[in-house]
Amino acid sequence: MHKSLLSALALAGVVATTPPGAFAQAKVKTKVKTKTEKASAPAPTAAPAPTDWSVTYASTITPEDLRQHLTILASDAYEGRETGQKGQKMAAEYIAKQFADLGLTGPVQNSDNAYIQHFTMERSSWAYDQMQLQIGKKSFKPLEDYYVGGSPVFTQAATLEPVFVGYGIEEGSYNDYAGLDVTGKDIIMLGGEPMKDGKPLLGKDGKPSKWADGRAKESLAMRKNPRSIFVINPDAEKFTQFLGRIKPYLSQPRMNFVGKQAPARAASFSVSPAVGYELLRTNAEAVAKYQAATGAAGQPVKSPFKPTKVTVRAPRKVETFSTENVMGYLEGSDKKDELLVVSAHYDHLGIKDGKVYNGADDDGSGTVSVIELAQAFVQAKKDGHGPRRSILFLTVTGEEEGLFGSEYYTDNPVFPLAQTVADLNMDMIGRIDDKHKAGDQYVELVGSDKLSSELHTINEQMNKQYTQLDLGYRYNDPNDPERVYYRSDHYNFAKHKVPVIFYTTGDHADYHQATDDVDKIEFPLMAKRGQLVFHTAWELVNRDNRIVVDSNKP
């Protein structure tokens, strides 16, 4: 080290504390230490992957929580939750309380409960105590000798002179209506279809034709615009058995919005053989002879019957009542003016013939899943991971009677439908249908591609990434004979051009039976289906762009 340097260091106080040569040695040691540190330093690690909050909050949808809610809503205490009845109103209060306890906002203005959207409906049922069916001096009893359907054409007593139309069939060269104009008239037809050598004349391979089902004949007759239809069941035992099975349904009321008339239909009277013989002024032997002659000829034959006059009266009694949709609102952040709806119907069939129809799957399963999805999104927001778009958790009434609750909401929306990005609707997601076996991990989807190809793709991506369920689309077929796309609450959104997905599992033996109970619910599978809905909802409310309506499939 140069002397001049040492002098400088001395001025700085270094020489006083460092012996000669020590500074240079320290310098070397320092360099060696630095190299050693660099050699022993750990290699840089990649930044941890960001937390997938969709997984975090979907996992809060659990079989245990679903069971807890469903055990209450689908208990006998709720009396089957029939629209307008005590049990439905109890269920409405229960759901509203869950939404309030979660901290959702009640969005309904001018209501006594901001979570409840009240509306008025009309209930009508056949006034059996005022009915009349009289031939000559003989009077017959409703729900014993006959039952009534169609529109209340005969609110006052009227005397009819009906026309006999054979079996009421029109197919190819077989035409019971040939040469007849029955518009505005009253007609009589035989139930069943013509037989030849013990086999259905119009069937194939010895199997019944479509005309064996009375609905096909009634549908044909309705298109010909008669005033009324009398259908004679030639088998007394079968008539009595069938009447016994459907009697609870015949007493059920028909519902509609106040002042809104259902499409007019001819009055229809399904009558026992005894009533039928009186109408035709004949007997069992003559009817059997006519049936045999028709079968042998392979076409309608001239009728020997000369129907008599009949006096009928079939009024309905009408009353108004209130019912309720229930909803809770979770406000979004930067895209809060756009809204996702998550829906299910909470009503069911009530009590029939003394039996409570609890509707655990239909649609208790969807209802409690809405509650659980609400809980998951609320927790996410509390933790600072709330949705960008707003969410309306909507449970509707009146589905079993004609999709009335969802129709009322979409006609009177609390939030503009123009700002509603989609509706994810759940109806019967707790069971395994008769097309699958125990253990199958699946869900059926309806409507996902009808209005938005993006919605369909998103749902499939979410399933592939998270839940790996088998996705079925058999009910999405435009030729689906059950027309499922039109049969649950999502359709009222779809007809307003709001994209929809309907999640369901298909029918099972307990569908619309008193045996649809909690003990048959597949809770782990139900939770997984609910989680798929959650993941799809999470993507819809948090993505940058609103999904596009780009198709209009039937």
For 345-373, the DSSP string reads E--B-EEETTEEE--IIIIIIHHHHHHHH
Is 377 exposed, middle or buried (CB count within 10 Å of its CB: 0-12, 13-18, 19+)? buried
Q: Does the pLDDT of residue 20 top 50, yes or no?
A: no
SS3 155: coil
| Amino acid present at 550 | D
Is 162 exposed, middle or buried (CB count within 10 Å of its CB: 0-12, 13-18, 19+)? buried
The whole-number pLDDT of residue 12 equals 36
How far out from the chain centre does Cα 528 lie? 19
The whole-number pLDDT of residue 536 equals 98
Give dist(CA 396, CA 374) in Å, integer.
15
Which residue spans within 138-191 are E strands per DSSP?
138-139, 146-149, 158-160, 163-164, 170-171, 174-175, 186-190
List the alpha helices (DSSP H) in 136-272.
Answer: 214-223, 236-250
Give dist(CA 249, CA 266) in Å, integer.
19
Task: Classify each residue of 496-525 as buried b or exposed e, where b means 16 or more C-beta atoms within 10 Å of its C-beta.
Answer: eebbbbbbbbbbbebbeebebbbeebbbeb
- In terms of pLDDT, which residue wins out, 542 or 261? 542
Q: Does the pLDDT of residue 23 top 80, yes or no?
A: no
Q: Does the pLDDT of residue 8 top 60, yes or no?
A: no
How would residue 281 be classed by pLDDT, with cut points 50, 70 and 90? very high
Give dist(CA 128, CA 145) in Å, integer.
12
Question: Cis ω on the peptide bond leading into residue 363 (within 30° of 0)?
Answer: yes
Q: Tell me the average pLDDT across 126-154.
A: 96
| Amino acid present at 414 | V
Give dist(CA 444, CA 469) in Å, integer.
10
Which CATH class name applies to 77-122+318-542?
alpha beta
Q: Does the pLDDT of residue 2 top 60, yes or no?
A: no
Categorise residue 183: left if φ over 0, alpha if ψ from -120 to 50, beta otherwise. Answer: beta
Nearest partner of 406 among 414, 417, 395, 415, judged by Cα = 395
Give dist(CA 540, CA 421) in Å, integer.
8
Q: Does the pLDDT of residue 37 top 60, yes or no?
A: no
How would residue 52 be classed by pLDDT, with cut points 50, 70 and 90? very high
Strand partners, 340: 391, 422
| Weakest-pLDDT range from 207-216, 279-288, 330-339, 390-399 | 207-216
The whole-number pLDDT of residue 252 equals 82
**Structure letter (DSSP) for residue 553:** -
Q: Could you identify the residue written with the tokens 């991971």?
A: 385
Q: Tell me the average pLDDT across 213-220.
A: 90
The answer for residues whose C-beta is within 8 angstroms of residue 161's C-beta and 6 or more apart is 186, 307, 309
CA count, 13 A, side-chain hemisphere, 263: 4
Q: Tell me the average pLDDT across 149-171.
A: 96
How would residue 43 be classed by pLDDT, with cut points 50, 70 and 90? low
How would residue 19 be classed by pLDDT, with cut points 50, 70 and 90? very low
Beta carbons of 424 and 501 less than 8 angstroms apart: yes
Q: Does the pLDDT of residue 343 top 90, yes or no?
A: yes
Beta carbons of 235 and 190 less than 8 angstroms apart: no
CA distances from 153 to 254, 275, 315 (A): 15, 20, 8
H or E element, residue 389: strand 389-396
The whole-number pLDDT of residue 40 equals 56
Going from N- to C-terminal start, the domains of the chain cover 77-122+318-542, 128-314
Beta carbons of 188 and 280 less than 8 angstroms apart: yes
Task: Classify each residue of 401-426 as buried b or exposed e, where b means 16 or more C-beta atoms within 10 Å of its C-beta.
Answer: bebbbbbbbbeebebebeebbbbbbb
The whole-number pLDDT of residue 29 equals 38
Taking the domain 128-314, which CATH number applies? Answer: 3.50.30.30
Phi/psi of residue 247, nearest 5 degrees? -55, -40
Give dist(CA 257, CA 410) in Å, integer.
14
Give dist(CA 445, CA 453) in Å, integer.
14
Q: Does the pLDDT of residue 97 top 90, yes or no?
A: yes
Percent of residues, the chain, with pLDDT higher than 70 = 92
Beta carbons of 167 and 349 less than 8 angstroms apart: no
| Amino acid present at 501 | I
- In terms of pLDDT, which residue wins out, 250 or 527? 527
* Packing angle of the helix pair 236-250, 273-280 (nearest 10 deg): 110
The answer for residues whose C-beta is within 8 angstroms of residue 45's C-beta and 6 or more apart is none
The whole-number pLDDT of residue 260 equals 86
Q: Does the pLDDT of residue 35 top 80, yes or no?
A: no
Q: Tell me the average pLDDT across 375-403.
A: 98
| Amino acid present at 285 | E
Q: Does the pLDDT of residue 5 top 90, yes or no?
A: no
Is 34 exposed, middle or buried (CB count within 10 Å of its CB: 0-12, 13-18, 19+)? exposed
pTM of the model: 0.81
How would residue 406 be classed by pLDDT, with cut points 50, 70 and 90? very high
Categorise residue 103: left if φ over 0, alpha if ψ from -120 to 50, beta otherwise. Answer: left
**Average per-residue pLDDT for the chain:** 92
Percent of residues, the chain, with pLDDT higher than 90 = 85
